Amino acid sequence: MSIAQRRREHTPQTKVLEFFVANLGGLKHLEEISRAAHPLDQDREVARAWGREQWADYSGVSRTLSRLSQAEADQIVSELEAISQLFIDSEVNLALLLEGRLVYDGDLTGIPVCKSSKSYPETAYGHMDDQIKLGYQACVISLRSSSYGRLWLSVAHRPGNTVAATQVEGMIHKAEARTGVRPLRRTDLLTQRLAQEIQQGKKLLEKREARQQKVIQAQAARQQVEQSVDIFQKRVVELETTCQAKGYLERPTSRLGVARKRLAVFQGRLARRQSALNKAQQVLEWTNGLVGQQQQEETILRERLDRFVQENAANPNPIQAVFRLDAGFGTYDNLALLIEMGYEVYTKLQNQQIVRNLQKQIPPEAHWTPVGTGVQMISCSSSALETFTYSVDIGLEYFTRESKTKYSALLHFGSDPVTQDFPGWFSFYNHRQTIEAGIKESKHVFYLHRIKVRSLPAIGLQEFFVAFAANFIRWARPWLHNQQPISTRSQPLPDLGLKKLVHVAAHTSANVVSYSDGKLLRFSDQSVFAGRVLRLPRFAYQLPLPFFKNYDFSRV
């Protein structure tokens, strides 16, 4: 890893590593590296554990991060992704062998900053924690793991005004890139949709041609009336000149009076013809817009179909996979894309007006199935989504909380018989709370919501370090669990939750004793781990599975 910065007492690589260790240790602020009760930069044993003799002052870390380029940050991310790829591959194989499919969760989480701050680059206002705040968004994807519960696959930095619905395609491609596997694209469904789109295009072209004819007819009618107006205008002028020359008085029944009346009639008619022409032109312009949108959509679908055919040809061992998303991602375009890309989809209906329409369709005597405390479900017809391309399962949810009621709707597409098992449907979708718990963990354990740096490359690096740290500790816990302690006076470390491991165990004083096969960690008598000695042999970790990159998982 090369970083184009001057080296003085410490290399820039050492300072970047120190920043990672600070995130791993759950430091709330960058200055805690040097100014905490037990400063990291004074802990030489920790430095030696990471292959360094000592750490730099936090100010040096800050300067290095502020000068980090995006290319250098991307290189750091790439190298850490290569390390995590081994564990991800192992969990992918394990999930496919045990469950026969992968389960992805995606979300967008806000990272607000102080609204009066001017030092954060390229911030924007957006929805964060049900409020409008200034800051950034992080687009995250997790994989359900039988070994670790949850593994972060990626975290992407986004501006604060990013909308969830715009992120789905990028999330899918990133998830597939990290796992190295993907389902078979549903080219049959996409072909049918393209055929419908082509037919719709023909109908629009016919409408446009008919409306072009209406514009031509309206123009001709206006021109005809305009000629009559010109004629009578000239007639009135001539009669006015004659009357003035001969001294005639204008009467309503005189030729001049009659001409004026005829002129007024044709002028009124001209205004109506102009209004009709304007309306016809507006309708034609609107139709042209629809034709343009339809042609653009048709082009997108053609390109997508060609790409999917090529991807299927290059995917001899397709897998089964599920994507769970919240309502913010559930636009019709995103649902159709997920379906066509071969995924089983679990999400919520975004349009609340359709939810209200579903409520009205349920008869009073309908049977609701209890699926949780204060929650009931009932199946609805997919015809409620008239403008959606594909038929989906719809489950209307009825929540009762403290005399308050609320309705929402779950959507599903795939082979799971969800309408035969409402409790299972409700439970499986709501298990996507694992990613919400992960987001909460990233903010309350690793303080993702406290941006420690002030340059975009470093901010993106902090976001990635937090996700990597959460994975890193989960990978280390099985190894720690296998290390037999010498003493068991206090609570075993592996039984602690991740937050206590980071905020308590990682900051507990201990003496380090080196021996030929590794080290002994003897915790301070004044700590919660008083009297405990942990044996740490030289690190060697056996991944639970070999890698089956060319294995046909469809046989599972």
Rg (CA), the chain: 34
Give the separation between CA 51 and CA 45, rounded to whole angstroms: 10
Of the listed ranges 412-416, 442-446, 528-532, the least confidently predicted one is 528-532
SS3 542: coil
Q: Is residue 377 exposed (0-12), middle (13-18) or buried (19+ Cβ within 10 Å)?
A: buried
Give the separation between CA 46 and CA 21, rounded to whole angstroms: 9
Helix (H) or strand (E) holding 535, with range, is strand 533-537
Stretch 38-64: mean pLDDT, rounded? 90
pLDDT at 538: 66
Stretch 429-446: mean pLDDT, rounded? 93
SS3 333: helix
Stretch 461-467: mean pLDDT, rounded? 95
In contact, 68 and 455? CB cutoff 8 Å: yes
User: DSSP of 114-141, one letter per residue?
Assistant: -TT---STT-EEEEETTEEEEEEEEEEE
Give the separation between CA 198 and CA 203, rounded to whole angstroms: 9
The C-alpha angle with vertex 54 and arms to 52 and 55, in degrees rounded to 5, equals 100
Mean pLDDT of the chain: 88
Stretch 379-402: mean pLDDT, rounded? 85
Ranked by mean pLDDT, the top range of 64-73, 234-243, 546-555 is 64-73
In contact, 172 and 338? CB cutoff 8 Å: yes
Give the separation between CA 58 and CA 116, rounded to whole angstroms: 25
Note the pLDDT tens digit of each residue in 176-215: 999 999 999 999 999 999 999 999 999 999 999 999 999 9
pLDDT at 554: 52
pLDDT at 485: 54
pLDDT at 492: 54
Query: How would residue 435 be classed by pLDDT, with cut points 50, 70 and 90?
Result: very high
Nearest alpha carbon to residue 547 among 183, 182, 180, 148: 180
* CA–centroid distance for 281 within its chain: 40
Nearest alpha carbon to residue 372 among 343, 341, 401, 346: 401
In contact, 151 and 88? CB cutoff 8 Å: yes
Helix (H) or strand (E) holding 279, with range, is helix 255-313
In contact, 65 and 19? CB cutoff 8 Å: yes
Give the separation between CA 552 and CA 316, rounded to whole angstroms: 8
Note the pLDDT tens digit of each residue in 294-305: 999 999 999 999
Note the pLDDT tens digit of each residue in 131-153: 899 999 999 999 999 989 999 99
pLDDT at 490: 44
Does the pLDDT value for residue 254 go beyond 90? no
pLDDT at 556: 47
Note the pLDDT tens digit of each residue in 68-104: 999 999 999 999 999 999 999 999 999 999 999 999 9
Of the listed ranges 291-300, 446-455, 462-471, 519-528, the least confidently predicted one is 519-528
Nearest alpha carbon to residue 155 among 180, 136, 135, 131: 136
Give the separation between CA 373 and CA 371, rounded to whole angstroms: 7
In contact, 12 and 5? CB cutoff 8 Å: yes
Nearest alpha carbon to residue 452 among 120, 54, 21, 109: 120
SS3 405: strand
SS3 409: strand
Which has more confidence, 253 or 174? Answer: 174
In contact, 153 and 142? CB cutoff 8 Å: yes
Instruction: Name every residue whose Cβ is closer than 8 Å to that of residue 121 and which is 6 or more positions away in sequence.
Output: 454, 455, 456, 459
SS3 331: coil
φ/ψ of 131, rounded to 5, equals: -135, 165
Question: What tokens does 186 get?
Answer: 């549903």
pLDDT at 400: 86
The C-alpha angle with vertex 296 and arms to 295 and 299, in degrees rounded to 5, equals 85
φ/ψ of 142, rounded to 5, equals: -125, 155
φ/ψ of 209, rounded to 5, equals: -65, -40
pLDDT at 345: 96
Task: Name the maximum alpha-carbon separation found in the chain.
Answer: 132
Question: What tokens does 48 get?
Answer: 């030696």
Nearest alpha carbon to residue 125 among 73, 78, 160: 160
